[in-house]
Structure formats: structure tokens, C-alpha cells
Amino acid sequence: MQAYLDCVVCLVRQCLDASRMLTDKIEIQEKILRQVLLEISSMSFEQSPPYMALKVHRLIREIARDGDPYKEVKELFNRVALELYPELKEKIKGSPDPLETAVRLAIAGNIIDFAVSGNLDRNEVEKTIINSLQQPLAINKLPQLREAAREATSILYLGDNAGEVVFDRLLIEELQPAAKITFAVKGHPVINDATMEDAVATGLTQVVKVVSNGSDAPGTILELCSPEFQRWFKNTDLIIAKGQANYETLSEAAEKVYFLLMAKCPVIARDIGCQVGDMVVLHKNRG
């Protein structure tokens, strides 16, 4: 998916959010913003939004000399999600369709996305959880995903954000008996995307094999991922891709990719064919 002019607004807001997390000094925030605006002015809109975001966040980290501006919010939402986990696990156990409930909760966890909103709090997460169990799936390829997971002998699950990975764990625990699952995290910090540190902190590594994709890009830009990860991607039977950035980078990828996300951005909602706030289980059949 290529970028749109609207994406610039989001990139600038991400820049402001990150710079304010790094420092209270206006002069440093201004320096970061000016250099990011200069970088954006020369970018091609034929590339994907996550590729543009990659350049912006690399520049922010370089200027600030800070490897992870979002470290504190990632740790906060890991804790929040872990506190919610026991209650959510009980909801799945008591559900007439545990897999569907786990899918809905996994999508609800996608609200923990600081690429879209820098003002998220626990109340918003809990409200999203309640809504996720009630609202219809705007695009519902869950029956196809259910069958694909049943037939697969290997599943590659592409994670998105810190905190959200606890919600992914709920789904993995429902899928786990059906196939060998590998969960992928980012190789280096970018925005609030999950890294190996988050997988360890949330106990995900005790449930499933977790690997690094070797990249610091939002989403999954395959050519920037490690050769080992590229082999996993190519050879696995089924890929579950979480979140908007994975959709942006993989929407033209192989048919074995299923996208689980909440549409939080008008540009992405328009590209998918849904409304902002919709929950989707999407499969782009090329046949």
C-alpha cells in the first residue's frame, strides 16, 4: 500500500509525540520537528507509510541519541495487559466459540497503537474490549481463517505492539494445539512495536517460539528483514498479520496472509473498504 498526503499529518504527530516523550525542552523538540519536516519533504509517496515512518523514527533516535523513546509507555501497557489477562482468559473459557472470542480480543488489543494515538489510557483499552465482544466484524474471513489454521502445520504470527502481544497470547493459546506457531517481533525498537524484550516481559516466550524479524521498520518490510526471517515467511503454511502497519506493508503479499486489525486511520479504512473503528479479519484472495 502506497502512502497518501494524509500520511504526512500522522508522521508529524508521531514526531511530536516521540520528542515530547524524550524531553521537556522546547528547543530540542523544535530541532527534531524541523529536521523531520525536512526529511519528509524529500520522501516519495510511492513507498509505503511504514517505510516513511521508519526514516522518521530513525532520525528522531539519531538526533535524541535515545534508542527507545517509547520504552516507558511500552512497559506501562505490558503491565496493563497482564493485569487484564486472567479476566480475558475466563471470557474465552466461558464462550460458546472460544476461537472467535480470542480473535475478537486479539483485535481489541490492536487499540494499543501509539502510531495512531499518543493519548491512550487503560479506560480506552477496557472500553475497546467490551465493544470488541459485541460489534460485528466488518469484514469476516474468520471461517476461512479457522479452516486454514486447522489445515496448517506451521503458522507465522506477526505481532504488532507492546501490550497487544498479551492479547495475541490469548489467541495463540487457542490455536496452539492445531499447528506449530512462531511469533515474530521487531528486531529493534520503533514506536511502541513489540520487541523480544516485550515478549519476555509478558511471558509470551513461555507459550510460543518467539523470533526477531531483524528490522526496525513498522510492519513487515520483507527486504529489510533478516534472511532467516524471510525464509520463515516463505516456508510457513499460514501467516497471521496483526495491525495496520502489517496491512500497509503486506497487503500485496501472498494469499496465505490473514490480517487481524482495527481500522484506526481513515486512509487505511478507505483502502480496506470499511469504516474507522471497524474490526476486520481480512484475507486478500488473488484468485
SS3 (DSSP) at 239: strand
Q: For position 287, what pLDDT does the model report? A: 43
Q: For position 80, what pLDDT does the model report? A: 98
Round the CA-based radius of gyration of the chain to a whole number and report it: 18
| C-alpha torsion sign, points 117, 229, 254, 2 | positive
Distance from CA of residue 149 to its chain's centroid?
20
Q: What is the largest CA-CA distance in the chain?
A: 56
| Phi and psi torsions of 137, nearest 5° | -75, 120
**What amino acid occupies position 258?**
Y
Helix (H) and strand (E) counts in the chain = 12, 7
Q: Which domains does the chain have, with CATH numbers?
A: 6-64 (1.10.8), 71-283 (3.40.50.10880)
SS3 (DSSP) at 117: coil
Residue 241 β-bridge partners: 158, 259
Q: What is the pTM of this model?
A: 0.95
Mean pLDDT split into 10-residue runs, the chain, 287 residues? 90 93 91 94 92 94 84 96 98 98 98 87 95 96 96 96 98 85 97 97 96 98 97 96 97 90 95 96 78
Q: For position 117, what pLDDT does the model report? A: 79
